[in-house]
Structure 1
Amino acid sequence: MNKFLFTLLFCAFFYSFAQLPYYYQQHVSYKMDIDVDVANFTYKGYQNIKYTNNSPDELKVVYFHLYWNAFKAGSMMDAKVHNQGDEADSRLTTLDAKGSKISRLSSIPANEEGVQNIHWIKQNNVPLKFEIQGTIMKVYLDNPIKPNSSTEFSMEWDANIPKQIRRAGRRNKEGIEMTMTQWYPKVSEYDYEGWAAFDYVGREFHEPFADFDVNIKINKDYIIGAGGTLQNPKRVKGYDVNYTLNPDSEGKVSWHWKAQNILDFAWSADPDYTVESFVVPDGPKIYLVYQKSEKTKYWGELKPYLTKYYQIMNSTFGEYLYPSYAFIQGGDGGMEYGMCSMVLGEASSLSRLVGLMAHEGAHSWFQQILATNESMRPWMDEGFTSYAEDYTMYTLFPTKEPNPFAGVVDSYISFVKTGKEEPAGWLGDHHDSERAYSVASYTKGELFLVELGYIMGENMLKQVMKKYYDVWHLKHPNGKDFLHIAQNVSGMDLKWFYHYWINTKKTIDYAIKNVQYNANSTTITLENKGGVPMPIDFNVFTKDKKIVTYNIPLNMMRTPKVNDYFGSFQVLKDWRWTDKIYQFDIPFTKDELVAMGIDFTQRLADINPQDNFIEVGNNNPQVMVQGK
Structure 2
Amino acid sequence: MKRKIILSLLLAGLGFAEVTKSIAQEVKENNQKEFGEFMDRKGTYSRTASGKPGVGYWQNAADYQIEATLDDQAHTLTGKVTMTYTNNSPEQLDFIWMQLEQNRFTEDSRGTLTTPIQGNRYNGDVDGGFEISNLEAKVGSKGAVSGKHIISDTRMQVWFAEPIPAKGGKATISMNFSFKIPQKGMDRMGRLEVEDGTIYALAQWYPKAAVFDQIEGWNVEPYLGAGEFYLEYGNFDYKITVPYNHIVVGSGELMNPKEVLSKELQDRYAKAKESDETVYLISPEEVGKTELTRPKQEGTVTWHFSIENSRDIAFASSKSFIWDAARINLPSGKKILAQSVYPRESDGQEAWSRSTEYSKASIEYYSKTWFEFPYSTATNVAAEIGGMEYPGLNFCHYNSKGAGLWGVTDHEFGHNWFPMIVGTNERRYAWMDEGFNTFINHYSTLAFNEGEYPSRLQQTRRSVSYFTNEGREGIDNYPDVVNTSNLGMVAYNKPAIGLILLREYILGPERFDNAFKSYIKTWAYKHPQPSDFFNHMENVGGENLSWFWQGWFYGNGNIDLAVNGVFPYAGNYLLSVANKGDMPMPVVYEVTYEDDTKERFTLPVEIWQRGDVWNHVIKTEKKIKGLVLDPDKILPDINVGNDSWPQVIYDN
- Per the normalisation by structure 2, the TM-score is 0.80
Distance of aligned partners of 1:483 and 1:18 in 2 relative to their CA distance in 1, 3 Å threshold: closer
- The equivalent of 1:522 in structure 2 is 573
- The equivalent of 1:140 in structure 2 is 159
Q: 2:511 is paired with a residue of what secondary structure?
A: helix
Aligned mates of 1:33, 1:400 — CA distance in 2: 43
Q: 1:81 is paired with a residue of what secondary structure?
A: coil
Instruction: Find 1:610's aligned residue among 618, 641, 644.
Output: 641
Q: Match for 1:245: what amino acid?
A: P
Cα-to-partner distance string for 1:119-173 (whole Å, 9 max, x where unaligned):
1311136132111111111222222112121111111122111222311122268
- The equivalent of 1:194 in structure 2 is 217
Q: 2:83 is paired with a residue of what secondary structure?
A: strand
- The equivalent of 2:316 in structure 1 is 268
Q: How does 1:69-88 map to 2 (within 5 A)?
A: 69-82=103-116
Distance of aligned partners of 1:305 and 1:36 in 2 relative to their CA distance in 1, 3 Å threshold: closer
- How far the C-alpha of 1:303 sits from its partner, in A, is 4.7
Q: 1:140 is paired with a residue of what secondary structure?
A: strand
Over the matched positions of the two proteins, sequence identity in percent amounts to 26
- The equivalent of 2:471 in structure 1 is 420
Distance of aligned partners of 1:471 and 1:266 in 2 relative to their CA distance in 1, 3 Å threshold: same
Q: How does 1:149-548 map to 2 (within 5 A)?
A: 149-166=169-186, 167-171=188-192, 176-192=198-214, 193-203=216-226, 204-237=228-261, 240=266, 245-246=295-296, 251-282=299-330, 284-293=336-345, 295-297=347-349, 298-348=351-401, 350-396=402-448, 405-407=457-459, 409-431=460-482, 433-453=483-503, 454-517=505-568, 520-542=571-593, 546-548=597-599
- How far the C-alpha of 1:208 sits from its partner, in A, is 0.4
Distance of aligned partners of 1:322 and 1:545 in 2 relative to their CA distance in 1, 3 Å threshold: farther
Instruction: Find 1:581's aligned residue among 613, 630, 635.
Output: 613
- How far the C-alpha of 1:548 sits from its partner, in A, is 2.1
Distance of aligned partners of 1:37 and 1:303 in 2 relative to their CA distance in 1, 3 Å threshold: closer
Cα-to-partner distance string for 1:391-416 (whole Å, 9 max, x where unaligned):
11112266699998333x23432112
Gaps of 5+ in 2: 1-50, 139-143, 268-291
Aligned mates of 2:419, 2:194 — CA distance in 1: 26
* 1:66 has 2:117 as partner: no
- The equivalent of 1:52 in structure 2 is 86
Aligned mates of 1:502, 1:156 — CA distance in 2: 43
Q: Match for 2:266: what amino acid?
A: D
Aligned mates of 1:19, 1:157 — CA distance in 2: 36
Cα-to-partner distance string for 1:165-214 (whole Å, 9 max, x where unaligned):
31112226897531101111111111112212221111211100121111
Q: Match for 2:438: what amino acid?
A: S
Aligned mates of 2:535, 2:420 — CA distance in 1: 21
Q: Is the 8 A contact 2:445 2:455 kept in 1?
A: no
Cα-to-partner distance string for 1:459-481 (whole Å, 9 max, x where unaligned):
21111111112211111112221
Q: Is the 8 A contact 1:25 1:54 kept in 2?
A: yes
Q: Is the 8 A contact 1:176 1:330 kept in 2?
A: no
Distance of aligned partners of 1:531 and 1:397 in 2 relative to their CA distance in 1, 3 Å threshold: farther
Aligned mates of 1:233, 1:400 — CA distance in 2: 36
Aligned mates of 1:22, 1:508 — CA distance in 2: 40
Distance of aligned partners of 1:546 and 1:130 in 2 relative to their CA distance in 1, 3 Å threshold: farther
Gaps of 5+ in 1: 1-16, 93-103, 556-574, 624-628
* 1:127 has 2:146 as partner: yes
Higher relative contact order (CA 8 A, sep 6+): 2
Q: Match for 1:434: what amino acid?
A: T
Q: Is the 8 A contact 2:164 2:171 kept in 1?
A: yes
Cα-to-partner distance string for 1:42-71 (whole Å, 9 max, x where unaligned):
122111110001111221221111111112
- How far the C-alpha of 1:591 sits from its partner, in A, is 4.9
Distance of aligned partners of 1:397 and 1:541 in 2 relative to their CA distance in 1, 3 Å threshold: farther
Q: Is the 8 A contact 1:517 1:589 kept in 2?
A: no
- How far the C-alpha of 1:545 sits from its partner, in A, is 5.4
Distance of aligned partners of 1:338 and 1:600 in 2 relative to their CA distance in 1, 3 Å threshold: same
- The alignment of Structure 1 onto Structure 2 pairs a total of residues equal to 559
Q: 1:332 is paired with a residue of what secondary structure?
A: coil
Aligned mates of 1:400, 1:327 — CA distance in 2: 20
Aligned mates of 1:235, 1:179 — CA distance in 2: 23
- How far the C-alpha of 1:353 sits from its partner, in A, is 1.0
Moved more, 443-452 or 17-26: 17-26
- Per the normalisation by structure 1, the TM-score is 0.83
- The equivalent of 2:648 in structure 1 is 621
